[in-house]
A = this chain, B = another copy of it.
């Protein structure tokens, strides 16, 4: 059960920060976590650019403000699924997402 392990690692170690405590993670796990960080940052930026509040976005997503806050905080208990759906709800196109992902290439190849 990978998710369980991930959860434990995440709980133990990190908080939004960046890529500094990737020590115990396999490269794949690191890449995955990083991906989430990237997308959540992208989401926040995008939302603000559009002048939306978390509540507004939540409405579009049919979710709630607290969940949006958690997404942007890269809370480990938020899935990539939801993150991506949120991005689409915030007006992102696939191209935008691809760009965001590629952009984050800086940290780990």
Contacts and interface: CB of A to CB of B under 8 A. Distances in A.
Interface of A: 1-3, 27-28, 31-32, 34-35, 61-63, 79-81, 84-85, 88-89, 93-95, 97-99, 101-102, 104-105, 108-109
B102 A31 contact: no
Given A31-B88, A88-B28, A102 B95 contact: yes
Copies in the complex: 2
Contacts of A102: 94-95, 98-99
Nearest to A104: B94
A23 to B, nearest CB: 18
A82 to B, nearest CB: 9
Given A2-B62, A28-B89, A84 B95 contact: no
